[in-house]
């Protein structure tokens, strides 16, 4: 892989998400050689992907070049590649661009959409875990509207502007709210020849409340906010299939729709090669101890969504969110140096700062560890927390400017269909995983 | 094409560039039905494409949704489609999405890259006339650098970071300057393991001066600015072929390069169906009279780059630039209404406001009709003229903010490789026309 030899021990990090970047920053100029691998050349701020998908922000505003993060780090290398396999016996990784040996390996590959084995749903619906996927969702929404104005078949037209979001977690809820805003702010004005009342936003949740990782108060508030925005919430409904045209469920309920966005589950983005004992089936996460060490290995670690650290408070591991990932990355940065110096490592303790979700134009729900609030003030809190979590001054300024503009003008100008538009036969909506 | 019947005469406009949009604006609520067709759903500000290609601006900042332009226009329709043919006999157009009859037809399809019939150059080099093309150039530049750090073959590595721009017009010159800035501001810092001095920027011009549509003083000043930036200018050199690896020329000179950007010529983006007598061969433009009427037709017009209006001052037609296109669009808007009212039309007279080009960080050359200046003040003029020519307040604000940030920080953060990165065998660089 053309990495220079070094007197320093080599630490290989797979993944430049929240966990990987937090770790990398802690390893700056610490007499270690670090090689950071990612299949994208940028870190992306996943919590705002839904705004890229709905035209509120440009992709560049929520992404940050990885090479820029590490610009002044010594003995620090970035390589753009996916990783196929870990050869634990020979202590090397096998990547698309070649092999690389490691002294310490950190797996921070994050998570991907979980279709629970249903290939037909996977083929016909859209996931939203990456920037290219978000841009594809944006294009698909607008393409469907362009297609809808062309057709004289009422059933087809309604189906094209019927949106179904499967999964009532934060991503589904925030996307539903943003779509409702997009409907009022843009689509109604841009497509005067369509009957916008026919545009439906359906949010399907298999459990009995949305945002079920948050407090019950938040669930109730979020439902009310979504209801006010005209989003239809279907609870206790489980999607059984989607053939590109019709969603079937575990009840008689069906949906005719051209756009299904699937946020109903995530699973670890595993790299092959670890011992089966180290893995947790179904969720595809990697079992780690309190030092983020992968069970069964001394010099392999996993952090972020991919890692499952069992403990009393979190018997099924920490939530797959930015906060635990960043905290694990930070601590591991210290611990690896301690390990190298043969000092005892520090056990991870998750500092739960709370969670929040925004709904539509100016509402949010916020759960702090001992306090819950919702509404416009919660939205202000949401906005500033997200603004200051972005990397880079310029991104913050541009995002802020966009939000102010969008808010004042009731507009979202990010509506370029960048991929080529082809008039499609109705049944060939395809997602385009990148 | 599912356009409602109307009591108003139907005007069909093909193309939402500078000419088409200027025309559309003049036809707002004028008791005509207007159908505007474009293969993109946005108007793009071509003069700044080179900044998208070099990471200075995001695509969304220089594009504007066409549907937003016409949001409050009565009896006004936009359709996203390419147009295959004009059936002048039956007064209809044949598009990908169906057929449409017209009372008046305006061809404003602009221009496309002219490879002068060399298919191999077309296949292996990149044009820069659209936003997707600019994004592809950006990705290719960064991909080549990612590829260069992987290889241990010195010749291959040098070739990957050797850039050749063919064509010394404004696009080639501005791109060369921006690449030189990108080299200093980003690439040098982002790729410390590469010897950045090996990155060459070669600008090849077939004539004896660059910017040959501008004053000689501007050519000389621009050459000096480029020279200071380290750009190598090759004059009186004609490229004969590029096989994806080596450029050959009409002399002994050859270039080993992985990136060729071709700005050496443009031709009209013709739509089939017009009588051969109306066309100008080689440049593929449409011959029009002083009212922009296509020679041989009463109710078909052509404006902008595609139109060639011969007159005393411009024996080969007006320059293929934004200014003539906008002026022709505006006047035609008035003239069509006059024609419908059976009033005499007004002949077009081009008001040459001058031309300019920017070079690098803070230099430009400006030719006013009777006055020339260059340097930092010219760059200020260039900047404000372009800023205020953008459509939309938010685009102006975001572009301004980006420019200030890039200027102060010597940075360009738009460096996302959005298309999937695959390690390539060296000979398979491909352009990707959209």
pLDDT category at B378 given cuts 50, 70, 90 is very high
**Per-residue model confidence (pLDDT) at position A261:** 97
Average pLDDT over residues B262-284: 95
CATH of the domain at B317: 3.50.50.60
pLDDT tens profile B14-25: 999 999 999 999
Residues B279 and B211 in one domain: no
Residues B255 and B271 in one domain: no
Residues A127 and A253 in one domain: yes
Q: What share of chain A in percent tops pLDDT 70?
A: 96
**Per-residue model confidence (pLDDT) at position A301:** 98
pLDDT category at A430 given cuts 50, 70, 90 is very low
Domain carrying residue B97: 10-39+81-113+266-340
Q: Which residues of B touch A401 (CB under 8 A)?
A: 394, 397-398, 401
Say whether residue A314 is in contact with chain B using an 8 A CB cutoff. Answer: no
Is the confidence at residue A136, as pLDDT, over 70? Answer: yes
Q: Which residues of B touch A397 (CB under 8 A)?
A: 401, 405
Is the confidence at residue A323, as pLDDT, over 70? Answer: yes
Average pLDDT over chain A, rounded to whole? 93
Domain assignment of residue B102, yes or no: yes
Is the confidence at residue B64, as pLDDT, over 50? Answer: yes
Nearest CB among A42, A60, A398 relative to B401 is that of: A398
Closest-CA distance of chain B to residue A365, Å: 29
* Interface predicted TM-score (ipTM): 0.89
Q: How many residues does chain A have?
A: 434
pLDDT category at A424 given cuts 50, 70, 90 is low
pLDDT category at B422 given cuts 50, 70, 90 is low
**Per-residue model confidence (pLDDT) at position B428:** 38
Mark which residues 47-66 of A lie under 8 Å from B by CB.
58-61, 63-65
Domain assignment of residue A53, yes or no: no
Is the confidence at residue A408, as pLDDT, over 90? Answer: no
pLDDT tens profile B32-63: 999 999 999 999 999 999 999 999 999 989 99
Catalytic residues of B: 174
Q: What share of chain A in percent tops pLDDT 90?
A: 84
Decide if A405 and B394 are in contact by the 8 Å CB cutoff: yes
Closest-CA distance of chain B to residue A423, Å: 7
Residues A257 and A285 in one domain: no
Query: A21: closest CA among A85, A67, A55?
Result: A67
**Per-residue model confidence (pLDDT) at position B1:** 85
Residues A295 and A329 in one domain: yes
Decide if A42 and B415 are in contact by the 8 Å CB cutoff: yes
Domain assignment of residue B1, yes or no: no
pLDDT category at B172 given cuts 50, 70, 90 is very high
Closest-CA distance of chain B to residue A149, Å: 7
Nearest CB among B42, B401, B422 relative to A401 is that of: B401
Is the confidence at residue B424, as pLDDT, over 80? Answer: no
Domain assignment of residue A221, yes or no: yes
pLDDT category at B432 given cuts 50, 70, 90 is very low
Say whether residue B9 is in contact with chain A using an 8 A CB cutoff. Answer: no
Mark which residues 387-406 of A lie under 8 Å from B by CB.
392-395, 397-398, 401-402, 405
Mark which residues 143-182 of A lie under 8 Å from B by CB.
146, 149-152
Residues B147 and B238 in one domain: yes
Domain assignment of residue B123, yes or no: yes
Residues B131 and B97 in one domain: no
* Sheet order of strands, A371-375 included: A355-359, A363-368, A371-375
Average pLDDT over chain B, rounded to whole? 93
Decide if A418 and B132 are in contact by the 8 Å CB cutoff: yes
**Per-residue model confidence (pLDDT) at position A422:** 55
Average pLDDT over residues B170-190: 94
pLDDT tens profile B300-312: 999 999 999 988 9
> Among B293, B311, B340, which residue terminates a domain?
B340
pLDDT tens profile B120-130: 999 999 999 99
Say whether residue A5 is in contact with chain B using an 8 A CB cutoff. Answer: no
Is the confidence at residue B431, as pLDDT, over 50? Answer: no
Residues B258 and B376 in one domain: yes
**Per-residue model confidence (pLDDT) at position B297:** 97
- Number of structural domains chain B divides into: 2
Is the confidence at residue A419, as pLDDT, over 90? Answer: no
Average pLDDT over residues A204-220: 96
A239 versus A397: the higher-pLDDT residue is A239
Closest-CA distance of chain A to residue B274, Å: 25
Q: Which residues of A touch B81 (CB under 8 A)?
A: 421, 423
Domain assignment of residue B248, yes or no: yes
pLDDT tens profile B122-167: 999 999 999 999 999 999 999 999 999 999 999 999 999 999 999 9
CATH of the domain at A259: 3.50.50.100
Q: Which residues of A touch B423 (CB under 8 A)?
A: 81, 96-97
**Per-residue model confidence (pLDDT) at position B301:** 98
Domain assignment of residue A293, yes or no: yes
Q: What share of chain B in percent tops pLDDT 70?
A: 96
Is the confidence at residue B412, as pLDDT, over 90? Answer: no
Residues A271 and A260 in one domain: no
Is the confidence at residue B392, as pLDDT, over 90? Answer: no
**Contact pairs from chain A to chain B, CB under 8 Å:** 158
Residues A149 and A235 in one domain: yes
Domain assignment of residue B47, yes or no: no
pLDDT category at A425 given cuts 50, 70, 90 is very low
Is the confidence at residue B433, as pLDDT, over 80? Answer: no
> Among A282, A305, A340, which residue terminates a domain?
A340
Nearest CB among A81, A413, A434 relative to B65 is that of: A413
Residues A86 and A214 in one domain: no
> Among B340, B370, B399, which residue terminates a domain?
B340
pLDDT tens profile A7-65: 999 999 999 999 999 999 999 999 999 999 999 999 999 999 999 999 999 998 999 99
Closest-CA distance of chain A to residue B273, Å: 22
Residues B157 and B88 in one domain: no
């Amino acid at each position: 892989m053309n990495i220079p030899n070094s007197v320093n021990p080599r630490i290989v990090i797979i993944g430049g998400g929240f966990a990987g970047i937090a770790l990398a920053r802690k390893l700056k100029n610490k007499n270690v050689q670090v090689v950071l691998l990612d299949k994208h050349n940028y870190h992306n701020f996943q919590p705002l992907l839904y705004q890229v998908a709905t035209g509120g922000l440009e992709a560049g505003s929520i992404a940050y070049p990885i090479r820029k993060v590490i610009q002044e780090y010594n003995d620090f290398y970035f390589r753009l590649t996916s990783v196929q396999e870990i050869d634990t016996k020979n202590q090397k990784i096998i990547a698309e661009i070649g092999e690389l040996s490691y002294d310490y390996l950190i797996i921070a590959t994050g998570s991907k959409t979980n279709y629970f084995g249903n290939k037909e749903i996977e083929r016909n619906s859209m996931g939203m875990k990456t920037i290219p996927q978000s841009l594809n969702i944006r294009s698909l929404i607008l393409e469907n509207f362009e297609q809808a104005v062309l057709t004289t078949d009422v059933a087809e037209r309604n189906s094209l502007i019927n949106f179904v979001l499967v999964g009532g977690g934060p991503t589904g809820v925030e996307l539903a709210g943003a779509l409702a805003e997009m409907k009022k702010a843009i689509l109604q004005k841009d497509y005067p020849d369509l009957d916008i009342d026919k545009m439906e936003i359906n949010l399907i949740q298999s459990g009995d409340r949305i945002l079920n990782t948050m407090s019950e108060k938040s669930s109730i508030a979020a439902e009310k906010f979504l209801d006010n925005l005209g989003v239809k919430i279907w609870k206790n409904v489980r999607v059984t299939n989607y053939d590109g045209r019709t969603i079937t469920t575990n009840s008689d309920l069906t949906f005719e729709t051209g756009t299904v966005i699937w946020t109903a589950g995530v699973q670890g983005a595993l790299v092959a090669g670890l011992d089966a004992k180290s893995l947790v089936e179904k969720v595809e996460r990697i079992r780690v101890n309190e030092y983020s060490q992968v069970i069964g290995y001394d010099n392999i670690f996993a952090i972020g969504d991919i890692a499952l650290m069992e403990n009393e408070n979190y018997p099924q591991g920490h939530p797959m969110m930015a906060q635990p990932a960043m905290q694990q990355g930070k601590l591991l940065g210290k611990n690896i140096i301690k390990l190298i110096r043969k000092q005892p490592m520090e056990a991870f303790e998750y500092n739960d700062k709370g969670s929040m979700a925004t709904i539509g134009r100016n509402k949010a729900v916020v759960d702090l560890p001992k306090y819950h609030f919702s509404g416009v003030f919660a939205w202000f809190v949401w906005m500033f927390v997200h603004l200051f979590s972005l990397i880079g001054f310029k991104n913050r300024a541009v995002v802020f400017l966009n939000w102010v503009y969008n808010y004042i003008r009731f507009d979202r100008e990010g509506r370029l269909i960048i991929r080529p538009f082809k008039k499609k036969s109705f049944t060939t909506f395809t997602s385009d995983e990148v």
